[in-house]
Structure 1
Amino acid sequence: MTAEIPEPKTVAPTLSREEVLDWLRSGKRVAGRNFVLVDVRRNDFEGGTIRGSLNLPAQSLFLTLPTIYNVLAATQVQDVVFYCGSSRGRGPRTAGWFADYLADKQGHSLKCWVLEGGIKGWVKAGPEYTEWMDGYEPTAWENIEEH
């Protein structure tokens, strides 16, 4: 029997792609050390992902929140940034679940974000962004819509 997955209570704030790109470029913050990018796509996980991202599909993320929290809380990670295709559905929902989980915890310094525009917005922003992708396949992004 599958547990019912609730709607999140919290709306996580958005983080601009410019800010994330600055984190990646500057070297002052390192993906996997100071921050974590979480790509929550599953079936549409094609065409590449932002360098350093973990792929944790939204469909299974809720049930793994305690493990994700425990792993991240034991590190120097300060920010967790969730995204999906457009960051209008799965990205905000999963970030909300994680933010709800964080609200129940004491003494942590983790912050939770949603990448504004998602991976589609990242790709549409141009080469200065796509050069920071792993597995980037331009043909997978032809005729993309951010919405």
Structure 2
Amino acid sequence: MSSAPTPWHAVYPAPKAIAATLSRQELLQWFRQGKRPGKDFVLVDLRRIDFEGGTIRGSLNLPAQSLYPTIPTIYTLLRASKVAHVVWYCGSSRGRGVRAAGWFADYLDEQGETFLTSLVLEGGIKGWATAGPEYTEWMNEYDAAVWLKSTSA
């Protein structure tokens, strides 16, 4: 009898915080208002091996599996900037996205941080990439074939 492997995130504490969500419509509005990733907000794509089909323009790729131990460093870097929001996402933002946003929100709470916020992108990259051309125009390395496959599966 074989037991299921332990999920990667089980070695870390479950997040206490439930991070606020940011809708794709709100993020699109930020882009249209001229807000820039890396200057006005930070986008973090948490995918590791499923990093295909493109990413939202300006995103950093920080795989969720290596995130938890780096949170203090990420916080220090972001705190030194004028960035007010960190937006986390994965494929659907129901697993890695929610977990990462929660961990970061927990860390912000522990630091007494009131300026920087941790948000999860509702629907993740799948929601963004399949929402139409007004969204995909804001992607780097967009590959429609990948997203057609994922919606027909």
TM-score normalised by the chain length of structure 2:
0.89
Structure-2 residue corresponding to 1:83: 89
Unpaired runs of 5+ residues, structure 1, are none
TM-score normalised by the chain length of structure 1:
0.93
Residue 141 of structure 1 deviates from its aligned partner by 1.0
CA contact (8 A) 1:39 1:84 kept: yes
Structure-1 residue corresponding to 2:16: 9
- Deviation by residue 1:15-66 (Cα, 9 ceiling, x = unmatched): 1000101111211x21101100000000000010000000000000001000
Structure-2 residue corresponding to 1:133: 139
Amino acid paired to 1:90: R
CA contact (8 A) 1:14 1:115 kept: yes
**Which of 57, 72, 77 is residue 66 of structure 1 equivalent to?**
72
Q: Which runs of 4+ in 1 moved over 6 A?
A: none
* Percent identity of paired positions between Structure 1 and Structure 2: 63
CA RMSD across the alignment = 1.3
Structure with higher Rg: it is 2
The number of equivalent residue pairs is 142
After TM superposition, list the pairs within 5 Å mapping 1:1-147 onto structure 2.
4-27=11-34, 29-145=35-151
For the residue of structure 1 that corresponds to 2:111, the secondary structure is: coil
Q: Using the alignment, how far apart are the partners of 1:61 and 1:8 within structure 2?
A: 13
Residue 73 of structure 1 deviates from its aligned partner by 0.1
Unpaired runs of 5+ residues, structure 2, are 1-9
Amino acid paired to 2:128: W
